């Protein structure tokens, strides 16, 4: 009889504690919220710092340079969502953002490196021709 009562009590406790929120104290939940907010805020602050651009006057280069911090910030915010978020649809979107924009970011950095290398070669050639 005691085993039956213990089993019933355990079943009721497990049913009542169906979500992660029920297994953490209010202070632990608040700490998680603060960490999530800090991660999102840091990503946004990095975006603002990255947008302080030194424009080159070349629209192609300026476009790529401006897009790099935007993509990096989006990736950072999406990773914060994946680390702290719960909503399945938001998590799915965050994963898609990480996957898509990581590839685009690599493409932009490769393009910029090639462009800068080409610009440096052109500059050197014009200096040698003088």
Along the 130 residues of the chain, how does pLDDT read in single tens digits? 565 455 545 444 444 444 445 567 888 777 777 877 777 777 777 776 767 778 889 999 999 999 999 999 999 999 999 999 999 999 999 999 999 999 999 999 999 999 988 876 555 444 434 4
The Cα 20–Cα 37 span in angstroms is: 19
The pTM of the full predicted model, rounded to 2 decimals, is 0.65
DSSP for 80-103, please give it: HHHHH---HHHHHHHHHHHHHHHH
């Amino acid at each position: 009889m005691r085993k039956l009562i213990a089993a019933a009590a355990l079943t009721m406790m497990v049913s009542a504690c169906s979500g992660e929120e029920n297994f953490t104290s209010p202070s632990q939940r608040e700490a998680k919220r603060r960490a999530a907010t800090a991660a999102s805020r840091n990503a946004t602050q990095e975006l603002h710092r990255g947008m302080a651009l030194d424009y080159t006057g070349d629209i192609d280069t300026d476009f790529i340079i401006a897009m790099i911090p935007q993509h990096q910030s989006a990736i950072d915010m999406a990773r914060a969502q994946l680390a702290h978020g719960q909503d399945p649809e938001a998590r799915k979107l965050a994963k898609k953002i990480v996957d898509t924009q990581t590839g685009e970011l690599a493409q932009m950095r490769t393009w910029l490196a090639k462009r800068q290398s080409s610009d440096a070669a052109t500059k050197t050639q014009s200096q040698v021709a003088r």
